[in-house]
Structure formats: structure tokens, C-alpha cells
Amino acid sequence: MEVFNVIARIHGLRELKLAENNLQGDLPASLCNLLELELFDVQSNKITAIPSELGHLPQLRSINLTDNQIRALPMALFDAPSLMELQASKNRLEGTLFSIGAVPQLQELNVANNSLLALCEGNSIDLPAIKSLVVSTNRLTTLPTVSDWTNLTTLLVGENKLTALPEGFATLEQLRTADFTGNDVTQLDERIALMRSLTSLTLAANPLRDKKFLTMNTEDMKRDLASRLQPTEGDVHDTDAAFANGAAEGHAMSKWQPSPSGTLDLSGQALSTIMESDLEPFTDTIRQLYLQRNIFTSIPLNLSLLTNLTILDLSRNSLEIALTTPLHLPKLRELRLANNKLVSLSSLTTNLTAPLLQTLDVSHNRLTGALPSLALAYPEISTLLASDNSIADVTPDALDHLKIVNLSNNDLERLEPAIGLLHHTLTSFDVAGNRFRVPNWQVLGKGTEAVLTWLRGRIPRDSWRSDGTEFFDADDTF
């Protein structure tokens, strides 16, 4: 392509975006001359192959190949020392994705809507930095062992042919969202009950032996699985030894003592307040604070003492107004407020300063009206779990920056077709169980890509790029 030969002479170029330009054929190796290139975006073209020489670019950190005609990814591509994100959904990838044993730097990988049969050769691949893996709508029958993927927070594997959850799944301490919709899974590991960070596990349209799990929310599912766990012989022995050494009294006195990793679990303690004197000895130590199943009516303001707090869980309390005065949590990345009595998010977006917040869980509350644009308050937010509320309206602006959104079981009466234009960023969009008649359940059952494609089809093609776009109502037909 002659255009790339010209571009390759532009030394110092850091971002190259050529989406929707009808580019066809194989990309040339001359791109390896762009030694300063950091972002490469050629989505929505007709590209058939990319050069392995891209792996020579020392600054390249993000590649977007979405919606092209690529059949295989060159393994030398992953030699790029700074490559953290690869988007390659809606291509023609087939067979096995990785023929190498490790991709040490990759943090986000999206290869949904392809024809992949396997993620790697054998039963394992080293992905130590991976945080988000999206492999929905392929032909996978199994996944490699995931126990070493310790940074994984999002795993989307819907619409494949998996017969079981991957080995090591229950050991993932950072995993928050997992979607196995439309596979062939028949049973669950009881140890899922111990996955403290897991807030959204979707198993719809699987032949589970226990059918009740198909409709249960994640918290109830974990509670049911926990009732099946049996203490091991080693657990009993350790407990007996602890009591023999007088540790029972020490345990009662140390409920405020964080674990070595910085986790403080105060669940089910009938707490309504927290004294500053209890927190002050651990202000630099506590990184994860679990306060679920207590009787708090708002987020405790003295949590501002915890300058290193990254996860705060106040699920299953009595919160009606999240905050009445400002609270600053500079390192907070995940906030869980599920199963409370919140009717609005305005007090939260107005009073909580959390510049690094990525995940907000407000499912099972009493939220009404329109969903606000959370990115205005939280520029890093990417995951919103807001199922089982009474939210009546959602706009494309409200979904800006979000990658994972669950608005199932709300009161949405329509979906704006312009939401379909968010397909490059919105990787999981669950809106089942709402009031709208179209898209119908057959479309919803095919997953996020099908819903967004359906919505885009309701936008007049010649107005996609105009500022004055007028959209068809979701009830309109053609």
C-alpha cells in the first residue's frame, strides 16, 4: 500500500489511526521504520495480514485490528517490548492463536468473533500481565490453565464450546467479571465461593446440572456453593492447634488486624460506624477493605485515612445516600455497593473523588431515572455493574469509556441506536430483562456484538458522521 510507504517516512510519529479507510491487502514491512510509534489503529478495513516487523517497534503499546480479514497473527508481533493491548475481534482468525509459550507484557487481548479452536498449543501459556481476556464467539472447546494469570480481572468466553471452567479458575484472586454464556458447562467448582473479588459470574445458556445457577446472581451463587464446602483434615488440624496455643482469644482481639497483603475483612460484624482510632494504626497498610453484610447507612468518611485503599466493598448494607460530604480515595480502583437502597448516584459522583476508579458495582439497588455519565467523575472507569434496578434510560454518552456494562433487569423502554457505534470500546453489554420489545430476545441471546450490530443497523448510514444525526426509534422497522 503506497500510503504506508509515505507514512513510514514520517519520523517521530506516535499515533497512527487509519480506521474505516477501505485499506485492502497485506500491510507492508516498511511500518517498522516508525520507531516512535505507540498506537496503531487500522480497524474496520479489509486488511488480510500484518507484518511481523511490527514486533521490532520498541514503543508500540496498543494495536487495534478490529473488523478486518486477518487469518493469523505473526508471533514475532509479541516481541514488541511495550505491547500491552491488542484488539483483533471480528477477523478471520482460525486454528490456534498462540504458537509461543509466553507473552509476558500483554495486558489486554480481545479476539472475539473469530473462528479460533484453541488459545495456545498444549495446556498452558504464560500470560503473567494479562488483565482482560475476551475470546467470546469462537470455537474453543477448552482454555489453558489460568492459575498463573494472577492479574486477570476480566474473562469473557461466551458463545464457545467449553465443557468446563478452566483449570485454576477458582484460584484467581483478582478476577471480578467472568462470562461463560452459551457454552457446554455442566457443573461448578465449589471453591468459586471463596473468590472474594468475583462480583459477576454469568452462566446463562449452559447445560448445568443445577439449573438454579442459570438465574442466580453471583452473590447468591457463591453463598450456595459455600454451603457445600467441607473443611479438609488439614483445616481441622490447624484449627485445633490454634486453640491449643491460646489463639482463639488472639483472634477475637485482632479483627482489626489486616492480612500481610493488606486485606481487612470486617464482614458481618453489625457495624454502623468505624472509629478513627481503629484505623489509624493501619492507614498505610490497608489496601482492600470488606465491610459487606453490616448496617452502614452511608460510606464512612474516615476512610479518607486509608490513602492506599484500592478495593472497598460495602455490599449488603443499608446505604440510601452514598455520601453526604466529600471523600477522597486517591488509589481506589473498585467500589462495590451492591444490595443496598441507593435511589441515585448523584451523591456519589458529586462527593467521591476517586481518579483511578475502574469498577463500580451498584447492582440490586433502587436506582431510577437516567444513567449518568460516570466518566465525567471517574475518567478511568471501564466496568459498570448496575443490574436489578429501575433505571429507565441510557444514552451513548452515559456509556462513554465503559468496556463492560450490565444493565439487565431494569426498566429501559428503548435503546438508542447510536449505542451501536460504541462497538470498538464496549466489549460486554448485558441488557436482558428490560421493557423494550426490540431488539428481541433472539438478538439479545446472541451476545453483545449482535446487539450493537442490530442497533447500528437502525442508524441512517449517511448520517453516522454528522453532528445532527437523527436516530430511528428502537421500535421503528424498515
Whether pLDDT at 250 is above 50: no
pLDDT band (50, 70, 90) for residue 468: very low
Between 477 and 56, residue with greater pLDDT: 56
Fold of 118-227: 3.80.10
Say which range, 113-117, 238-242, 301-305, 402-406, has the weakest mean pLDDT. 238-242
State the average pLDDT over residues 106-133. 94
The mean pLDDT value for 100-121 works out to 94
No. of helices (H) and no. of strands (E), the chain: 8, 25
pLDDT classification of 255: cutoffs 50, 70, 90 = low
Grid coordinates in use for 165? 471452567
**Predicted local distance difference test score (pLDDT) of residue 134:** 94
| Cell 511495550 found at | 82
pLDDT digits (tens, 9 = 90+) for 277-301: 888 888 888 999 999 889 999 999 9
Same fold across 118-227 and 257-463: yes
- pLDDT greater at residue 79 or residue 252: 79
For the chain, the distance separating the N- and C-terminal CA atoms, rounded to the nearest angstrom, is 39
The number of residues in the chain equals 478
Confidence of residue 231 (pLDDT cuts 50, 70, 90): low
Per-residue model confidence (pLDDT) at position 241: 39
Contacts 24+ apart (CB under 8 A), 91-94: 91/65, 91/66, 91/67
3-state SS assignment for residue 438: coil
Rounded distance, CA 404 to CA 359, Å? 9
Share of the chain above pLDDT 70, in %: 90
Best-predicted range by mean pLDDT (59-68, 197-206, 273-282, 454-463): 59-68
Q: Check pLDDT > 60 for residue 459.
A: yes
Range with lowest mean pLDDT among 95-109, 214-228, 284-298, 337-351: 214-228
**What does the pLDDT read at residue 230?**
57
- pLDDT: is 119 or 466 the higher one? 119
Q: How far apart are CA 20 and CA 8, in angstroms?
A: 20
C-alpha cell at 228: 457445600
Confidence of residue 52 (pLDDT cuts 50, 70, 90): very high
- The residues spanned by each domain of the chain are 1-92, 118-227, 257-463
Q: What is the CATH number of domain 257-463?
A: 3.80.10.10
For residues 62 and 467, the model is more confident at: 62
Find the mean pLDDT for residues 368-372: 95
Q: Assess whether pLDDT exceeds 80 at residue 371.
A: yes
Q: How confident is the model at residue 327 (pLDDT cuts 50, 70, 90)?
A: very high
Residue 473 has pLDDT above 50, yes or no: no
The residue-averaged pLDDT of 311-330 equals: 93
pLDDT of residue 354: 96
Segment 40-57 shows an average pLDDT of 93
- In CATH, the number for domain 1-92 is 3.80.10.10
- DSSP code per residue over 6-69: HHTT-TT--EEE-TTS--EEEPPGGGGG-TT--EEE--SSEEEE--GGGGG-TT--EEE--SS-
- For residue 277, the model assigns a pLDDT of 86
More confident position, 449 or 399: 399
Q: Indicate if the alpha-carbon torsion angle 446, 448, 452, 455 is positive or negative.
A: positive
β-pair partners for 178: 155, 201
What's residue 469's pLDDT?
42
pTM over 0.85: no
Work out the widest C-alpha separation in the chain, in whole angstroms: 79
Q: What is the pLDDT of residue 253?
A: 35
Strand spans (E) along 71-114: 85-87, 94-98, 108-110
Task: Give 313-321's long-range contacts (Cβ < 8 A, gap of 24+).
Answer: 313/289, 314/340, 315/219, 315/339, 315/340, 315/361, 316/219, 316/292, 316/340, 317/291, 317/292, 317/293, 321/297, 321/347
